Chain A
């Protein structure tokens, strides 16, 4: 125990508990900056949605809410497998830890795969902001400026794109965790990297929990 502890306990910490507490608190501090980073995007979206409600509502109906809903379910499943991976690590069960980490990677990749399908539809339909953006009069809705719909899609791609970028980083970190678990680096005494990766992964889930209704749903009726 003491011999093992020496390999992970940094000399500037009193004990393993204090080191763990400092690590998780540091992750939460980072997540607070992330709340405000995504908060800025949500704020910009709220401002322009309130300025051009009809154009934004018509544009948001062009999104496929079914794919969005399936992706929400996929992400919730990945949060469950992530939390079960952390639990397996807490109890020092190496096999289930590796299995749940790999399941989380598979579900995260499924989410990104569905996102690729959605994005490619938008490219084919000329709904990506830029010179090729083109909206049929029926899509814009009566009396709406197509430029305002383009603004909606700029927010759509910026917000879901930043979210997907966070997922890609999360998947890379999960890959490293699988490798380290395979090497047997984590025990019930030391699993801090698994725990704080879990915090990050669930935070990315929380962002999607807000993105899904705000982008896909609130103008359906």
Chain B
């Protein structure tokens, strides 16, 4: 079949990076970064998720149609989260709340 066989050392490299990022995220959680700590944790998690999706789920080597499917899923997730949270955060702006 036409699917591309990825060298084992790339998988090992991704695996080691994922483990190191797990250590980093646990470690930085104990520094008092205030409101930033949420965004640091999310940035590390998103880096890890991207590595898993691109290499372990071999999206990097997949068709453009597959990319379009994944992008659609992420787009609707962002709409779900961003629109709802913008509602929650701006309710206090209105008098009577």
* B52, A79: Cβ atoms closer than 8 Å: yes
A24 to B62, CA, bound (A): 9
With contact pairs A79-B56, A205-B52 given, residues A90 and B80 touching in the complex (Cβ less than 8 Å): no
A43 to B67, CA, bound (A): 24
Interface string of B29-42 (1 = CB under 8 A from A): 11111000110011
Choice from B5, B37, B66 contacting A28 with Cβ under 8 Å: B66
* B69, A29: Cβ atoms closer than 8 Å: yes
Give the size range of B's interface with the partner: 35 or more
* A35, B77: Cβ atoms closer than 8 Å: yes
Residues of A within 8 A of B37 (CB): 218, 221
Choice from B26, B41, B73 contacting A31 with Cβ under 8 Å: B73
Of residues A16, A46, A218, which shows the largest number of chain B Cβ atoms within 10 Å of its Cβ? A218
**Which residue of chain A has the shortest Cβ distance to B6 in the bound complex?**
A87
Taking the closest CB of chain B, its distance from the CB of A161, in whole angstroms, is 20
Name A residues whose Cβ lies closer than 8 Å to a Cβ of B: 16-17, 20-21, 24-25, 28-29, 31-32, 35-36, 39-40, 42-43, 46-47, 50-51, 65, 69, 72-73, 76-77, 79-80, 82-84, 87, 90-91, 188-191, 195, 198-199, 202-203, 205-206, 209-210, 212-214, 217-218, 220-221
